[in-house]
Amino acid sequence: STQIHLVSRPEGWPTPENFQTVRVTLPELAPGQVRVANAFVSVDPYMRGRMNEGRSYVAPYALGATITGGAVGRVIESAADGVDVGAVVLHQHGWSDVVQDDAATFQVIPELPGVPLSLRLHILGMTGLTAYVGLTRIASLQPGETVFVSGAAGAVGSAVGQLARLLGASRVIGSAGSAAKVALLHEKYGFDAAFNYHDGEVRELLAQAAPDGIDVYFDNVGGDHLTAALDAFNDGGRAALCGAISTYNADGPVPGPDNMSNIVTRGLTLRGFTLGNHLDLAGEFQQRMAGWFSEGRIAYDETIVDGIDNTVEAFLAMMRGANVGKMLVRVG
Ligand code: NDP
């Protein structure tokens, strides 16, 4: 098995020296265990936080151990009753090509005809659910409202734009980091307005894109994007604070919004969330999403990097914005 370990904690941007590729010979299966060959391994922004020491909502990664996280694969050997060779499983064992552990640490999922396994790691899985939770429970999106989402061409953001529309938003605005991504938001994802945040001050770009203000902001970026949203909010606006990727690799303090008083004067609500506390919505999401998906109303993109040895590179490329939609590593 090839495993990617964290061997030192990055300060600022991670470098290849923070990681090590380790090849191990796996022992024979113990009773109750299964061995899984991964098909796709996920690289996600939250993993950057887990590379640090200190308090967060998930424990820091241990040094000298495999980086854990979402992956989907197939059982290739089984010593567990009820889990057959060939079964498709979702799990959190992370950055390796082959993994084995107790069967209970793997979730057997049905194989849906015509649905690529990779989608279970994004639009039909974690990132799609994050978009759904943020819009419905956290931001209480109402029909007829205007929604702004940052990181709009990424995995969560592209789901937010589409779900906002399906949930009744009348105007959907997105920001992303290149002209090509902005074109995609217009042409493939049905955004009403979109801008490249490199083209000027985000405050001004958002004001142009949202002349009548915004009601809901889905924040993936933080920093200047959150500041801009606080300026653009209509009275009673709500922000779902999902992430702040513009700050994850900072090696010093990051400036906060200078317009926090708008929260008071406009009666705004800013509410942070992490998906793990809202998994009770998973069933509802899966049901509604399966319906929209089978009706052909859901588009998606994925950016695939081949080979488990290239996982670190894929992670860093995602943090730099090289991905459209979900960044994934294809194994084997
Ligand atoms: P994405 O697919 O959106 O990939 C990350 C993207 O972030 C890049 O493609 C890049 O796109 C953008 N980005 C990087 N640096 C900056 C910057 N300085 N300013 C603006 N954009 C930047 O990742 P995900 O969809 O997986 O995650 C999106 C956000 O959602 C993250 O903040 C993540 O932490 C959060 N998240 C939170 C969860 C929760 O439970 N709260 C669960 C899942 C995700 P571009 O080219 O546009 O810059």
- The confidence score (pLDDT) of residue 144 equals 98
Q: Which of 277, 293, 321 is the last residue of a domain?
A: 277
pLDDT per residue over 45-65, tens digit each? Answer: 999 999 999 888 889 999 999
pLDDT in tens, 91-144: 999 999 999 999 999 999 999 889 999 999 999 999 999 999 999 999 999 999
Checking if the pLDDT of 293 tops 90, the result is yes
Domain assignment of residue 188, yes or no: yes
Examine the domain organization and report whether 32 and 158 are in the same domain.
no
- Whether residue 283 is contained in a domain is answered as no
Going by CA atoms, what residue is nearest to atom 10 of ligand 1?
321
Does the residue 50 lie in any domain?
yes
Query: What ipTM did this prediction achieve?
Result: 0.99
Based on the fold, state whether residues 91 and 160 are members of the same structural domain. no
User: Bridge-partner residues for 302, per DSSP?
Assistant: 326
Q: How far is the CA of 292 from the centre of ligand 1 (A)?
A: 24
For residue 262, report the distance from its CA to the centre of ligand 1, in Å: 25
Task: Identify residue 170 by its one-letter amino acid code.
Answer: S
Enumerate the H helices of the chain as residue ranges.
46-50, 126-133, 155-166, 179-187, 202-209, 223-232, 261-265, 282-294, 311-320
pLDDT at 24: 97
Q: What's the pTM value of the predicted model, to 2 decimals?
A: 0.98
Query: What is the per-residue pLDDT for 55?
Result: 84
246 lines ligand 1 (CB under 6 A): yes
Q: Would the CB of 222 count as within 6 Å of ligand 1? A: no
Beta strand 233-241 with 2-6: parallel, antiparallel or unpaired?
unpaired
Contact 272, 217 (CB under 8 A): no
Report pLDDT for 54: 87
- End residue of a domain, out of 261, 277, 293: 277
How many domains does the chain fold into?
Answer: 2
Centre of ligand 1 to C-alpha 207, Å, is 22
Cα–Cα distances (Å) from 31 to 34, 80, 82, in that order, read 9, 6, 12
What is the Cα–Cα distance from 160 to 166, expressed in whole angstroms? Answer: 10
Both 153 and 267 in one domain: the answer is yes
User: Taking a C-beta distance cutoff of 8 angstroms, is the pair 24, 4 a contact?
Assistant: no
Q: Are residues 160 and 262 in the same domain?
A: yes
Distance 42 CA to ligand 1 centre (A): 13
| 247 & 165 share domain | yes
CATH code of the domain containing 53: 3.90.180.10
Contact in structure between 232 and 209 (CB atoms under 8 Å): no
Band of residue 332 on the pLDDT scale cut at 50, 70, 90: confident
Q: Is the minimum distance from the CB of 274 to ligand 1 under 6 angstroms?
A: yes
Residue 245 belongs to what domain range? 126-277
CB 134 near ligand 1, within 6 Å: no
Provide the percentage of residues in the chain whose pLDDT is more than 70.
100
The stretch 10-26 carries a mean pLDDT of 97
- Cα-based angle 117, 289, 238 (whole degrees, multiple of 5): 120
Closest residue by Cα to atom 2, ligand 1, is 154
